[in-house]
């Protein structure tokens, strides 16, 4: 199988040299970057406030982080399109740090101590970058990472649902979800009206935008604020008062609004490093550094795939920018930051050209914080909670579970195992459990322990062609070594062939990383081809499913029909997806023929097909042939060496090129 061209969106880059984030690029793309930065500012403003409050920090902390990420990290990183700032994925760690530090040292010291932990985490990330450990982000199994993100989504929803309903509640995530009916009964109707209206906008606007193009440029968070602020004024949340509804009395006050200081200098808080003298402080610093770095690296790689000019981020330099930004943000009272995927995609969609779009978004946030802090105070907390609930539901969407199951049951086991462990313990333990579970499954399936950590490769150079052949299973734990061999061979004009014919197993994480490498090679003017995958059987029909050596179960459809029906049956089966046939001409008789002692000329047709094609064939036989002609058909299960030989090929594509094309299409 060969992979030659990537299919990452957009498929063809714009004409001309890629814009660069230097002084020339600042002037040349001022209009496009400023416009994109303004739209991202509209999205970031409510999200930064909501993430801060959900993390147990003051509301202004998220704005500090986004401003530092935009004005400082932009100048350190070479990533042209990523937006730096606070992210929902770190809410769980930030809130956990605030909670535990408050229990140990007292609630009044929790926030400054968490800032000290944030400075230490930034220093650790700077160290990671200087040691060039950015590549370690690829060591984590894909299913474990997705399970961690889904768990974060569930935790966010559980913590924010009571806030959106106007109810005060504390507890563990699963306990809060169990008490959701109780919260609905105890909700404050006015506050819940704001929260539920905001959720209706967030879920209802995207389908409308798909139908009406005019709505596509209207950010949903802006619509939420445009409705929530007037509702808050209508309910008079700025003054404490009570009201009665259906025989129950409820209280409204400023407690349901965002608290933003009018004096920015008074909002600046300096870190307290007292917790770093004990394990509790370093525990949270390590979690901030590891999980934040992992999320940042994944986001930066994802944004590279969205870049119309296919520019590539230096992950170590981007990690350095995140570390410097985190240390500075925590020094003045900010949350931890990462390269954030949602705002980055919004920036790309808005036409951003260079990294200065990130700088402009930070400048607009700073201007807003300086000029109109009073307006921010009128934003209802329920609206911000709705934004976070929407984000959490997307992370833990049922479709994510179905998608993982589609890739393979083994991936679902790792995904769910990581998710449950995170909910039962914490993020660090949960991710470690996912890694150990994935490694254990590989060992149980027969992968040698030595091969998982010290793989062997054969590299053969044939002019402008380099063949890299792993001699052992290619799995997540040895992916970095395999990637290093591919990078050593990559050069403009060189064709690198990865021959996987000797690998008994290629796991899902490696398949996913190979998809990315196809795109990287193309952007560097090189070419990567994959060979030998056609000899491995996929755990499912998904193009990125794990593949292992062994026989694949397929169906053999045998049809005995009158000789004159042969062309018709062959044409119909080919149209249904059969990749070939065997025809044997013979004489035979059915029940009526035996009674008359009369044989007829018949044809015996055999088709080896996947299960779905076999079912379509049976439907065709039942409806079109059996009622009208003397036809006999049977279905049996057989095992074949190369499943790819019997897969149906889409129209217009050569059958032998199909598996490679599927792998490339998965990058889109």
List, for residues 213-235, the tens digit of each pLDDT value: 878 778 889 999 999 999 999 99
Is the distance from CB of 528 to CB of 486 less than 8 angstroms? yes
- In 635-667, which positions are buried (b, 16+ CB within 10 angstroms) versus exposed (e)? eeeeeeeebbebbbeeeeeeeeebbbbbbbeeb
The verdict on pTM exceeding 0.75 is yes
Question: Between 3.40.50.300, 3.40.630.30, 3.30.70.120, 1.10.3720.10, what CATH number should domain 551-640 receive?
Answer: 3.30.70.120
**474 DSSP 8-state letter:** B
Element spanning 607, H or E: strand 600-609
What per-residue confidence (pLDDT) applies to 657? 44
- For residue 601, what are the β-bridge partners? 587
Tokens 């833990």 correspond to what residue?
396
Tokens 């230097």 correspond to what residue?
22
What per-residue confidence (pLDDT) applies to 640? 79
* Averaged pLDDT, groups of 10, the chain, 668 residues long: 35 58 84 91 90 92 94 89 90 92 94 96 94 81 90 92 92 89 93 96 90 82 93 93 87 90 83 94 93 88 81 89 96 93 86 92 92 86 94 90 92 95 85 93 90 88 87 92 91 89 91 87 86 83 86 85 90 89 87 74 90 89 88 87 70 47 48
Calpha distance 67→69 (Å, rounded): 5
- Of 412, 456, 464, residue with least CA distance to 438: 412
Is the distance from CB of 76 to CB of 406 less than 8 angstroms? no
- Of 545, 529, 539, 538, residue with least CA distance to 657: 529
Contacts 24+ apart (CB under 8 A), 258-262: 258/49, 258/53, 258/59, 258/376, 258/377, 258/378, 258/379, 258/380, 258/381, 258/384, 259/58, 259/59, 259/377, 260/59, 260/60, 260/369, 260/373, 260/374, 260/376, 260/377, 261/60, 261/373, 262/373, 262/374
Question: Per-domain residue ranges for the chain?
Answer: 32-399, 450-546+656-665, 551-640
Calpha distance 297→268 (Å, rounded): 29
User: 450-546+656-665 and 551-640 share one CATH topology?
Assistant: no
Is the distance from CB of 260 to CB of 62 less than 8 angstroms? no
SS3 497: strand
- Of 428, 386, 414, residue with least CA distance to 289: 428
**Cα-to-chain-centroid distance, residue 440:** 24
Calpha distance 231→201 (Å, rounded): 14
For residue 408, report the phi and psi dihedrals to the nearest 5 degrees: 160, 150
CATH of domain 450-546+656-665: 3.30.750.24
List, for residues 327-336, the tens digit of each pLDDT value: 999 999 999 9
What per-residue confidence (pLDDT) applies to 17? 67
Tokens of 387: 């934004």
CA dist 294 → 179, 287, 425, 612 (Å)? 33, 10, 19, 39
- Of 296, 349, 307, residue with least CA distance to 519: 307
Burial class (CB in 10 A: 0-12, 13-18, 19+), 109: middle
What per-residue confidence (pLDDT) applies to 663? 53
Q: Which residues contact 571 (CB under 8 A, 6 or more apart)?
A: none
**Cα-to-chain-centroid distance, residue 231:** 34
Tokens of 638: 């057989």
Q: Which residues contact 523 (CB under 8 A, 6 or more apart)?
A: 6, 310, 312
Rg (CA), the chain: 29
Cα-based torsion angle of the residue sequence 468, 473, 476, 481 in order, rounded to the nearest 10 degrees:
-40
For residue 278, report the phi and psi dihedrals to the nearest 5 degrees: -135, 165
- Bin 167: left if φ > 0, else alpha if -120 < ψ < 50, else beta: beta
What per-residue confidence (pLDDT) applies to 375? 83
Is the distance from CB of 558 to CB of 552 less than 8 angstroms? no
Calpha distance 641→44 (Å, rounded): 53
Tokens of 652: 């217009």
Burial class (CB in 10 A: 0-12, 13-18, 19+), 156: buried
């Amino acid at each position: 199988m060969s992979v030659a061209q990537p299919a990452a969106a957009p498929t063809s880059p714009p004409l001309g040299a890629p814009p660069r984030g230097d002084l020339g690029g600042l002037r040349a793309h001022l209009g496009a970057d400023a416009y994109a930065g303004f739209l991202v500012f509209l999205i970031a403003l409510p999200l930064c406030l909501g993430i801060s409050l959900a993390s147990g920090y003051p509301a202004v902390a998220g704005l500090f982080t986004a401003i530092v990420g935009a004005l400082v990290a932009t100048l350190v990183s070479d990533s042209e399109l990523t937006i730096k700032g606070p992210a929902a994925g770190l809410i769980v760690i930030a809130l956990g740090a605030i909670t535990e530090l408050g229990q140990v040292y007292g609630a009044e010291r929790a926030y400054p101590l968490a800032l000290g932990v944030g400075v230490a985490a930034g220093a650790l990330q700077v160290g990671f970058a200087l040691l060039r450990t950015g590549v370690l982000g690829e060591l984590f199994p894909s299913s474990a990472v997705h399970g961690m993100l889904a768990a974060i989504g569930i935790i966010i929803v559980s913590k924010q649902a009571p806030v959106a309903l106007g109810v005060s509640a504390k507890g563990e995530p699963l306990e809060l979800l169990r008490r959701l009916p109780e919260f609905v009964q105890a909700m404050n109707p006015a506050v819940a009206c704001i929260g539920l209206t905001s959720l209706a906008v967030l879920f209802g606007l995207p389908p409308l935008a798909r139908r009406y193009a005019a709505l596509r440029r209207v950010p949903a968070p802006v619509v939420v604020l445009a409705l929530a602020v007037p509702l808050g004024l209508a309910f008079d949340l700025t003054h404490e008062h009570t009201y009665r509804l259906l025989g129950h009395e409820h209280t409204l006050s400023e407690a349901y609004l965002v608290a933003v200081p009018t004096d920015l200098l008074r909002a600046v808080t300096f870190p307290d490093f007292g917790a770093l003298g004990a394990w509790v402080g370093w525990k949270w610093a390590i979690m901030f550094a590891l999980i934040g770095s992992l999320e940042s690296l994944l986001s930066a790689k994802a944004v590279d795939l969205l870049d119309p000019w296919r520019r590539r981020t230096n992950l170590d330099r981007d990690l350095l920018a995140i570390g410097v930004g985190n240390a500075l943000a925590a020094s003045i009272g900010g949350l931890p930051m990462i390269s954030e995927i949602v705002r980055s995609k919004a920036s790309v969609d808005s036409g951003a050209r260079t990294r200065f779009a990130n700088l402009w978004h930070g400048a607009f946030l700073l201007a807003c914080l300086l000029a109109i802090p009073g307006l921010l105070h009128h934003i209802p907390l329920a609206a911000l909670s709705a934004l976070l609930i929407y984000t959490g539901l997307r992370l833990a969407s049922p479709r994510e579970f179905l998608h993982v199951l589609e890739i393979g049951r083994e991936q679902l086991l790792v995904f769910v195992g990581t998710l449950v462990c995170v909910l039962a313990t914490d993020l660090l333990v949960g991710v470690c459990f996912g890694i150990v579970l994935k490694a254990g499954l590989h060992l149980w399936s027969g992968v040698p322990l030595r091969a998982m950590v010290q793989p062997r490769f054969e590299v053969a150079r044939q002019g402008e062609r380099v063949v890299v052949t792993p001699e052992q299973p290619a799995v997540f734990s040895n992916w970095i070594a395999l990637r290093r061999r591919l990078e050593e061979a990559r050069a403009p004009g060189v064709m690198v062939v990865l021959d996987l014919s000797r690998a008994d197993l290629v796991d899902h994480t490696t398949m996913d990383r190979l998809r990315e490498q196809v795109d990287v090679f193309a952007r560097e003017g090189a070419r990567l081809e994959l060979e030998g995958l056609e000899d491995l059987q996929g755990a499912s029909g998904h193009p990125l499913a794990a593949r292992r050596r062994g026989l694949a179960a397929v169906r053999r459809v045998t049809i005995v029909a009158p000789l004159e029906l042969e062309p018709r049956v062959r044409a119909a089966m080919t149209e249904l997806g059969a990749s070939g046939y065997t025809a044997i001409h013979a004489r035979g008789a059915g029940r009526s023929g035996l009674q008359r002692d009369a044989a007829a000329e018949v044809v015996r047709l055999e088709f080896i097909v996947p299960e779905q094609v076999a079912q379509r064939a049976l439907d065709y036989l039942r409806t079109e042939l059996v009622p009208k002609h003397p036809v006999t058909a049977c279905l049996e299960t057989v095992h074949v060496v190369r499943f790819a030989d019997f897969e149906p090929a889409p129209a217009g594509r050569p059958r032998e090129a199909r598996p490679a094309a599927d792998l490339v299409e998965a990058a889109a």
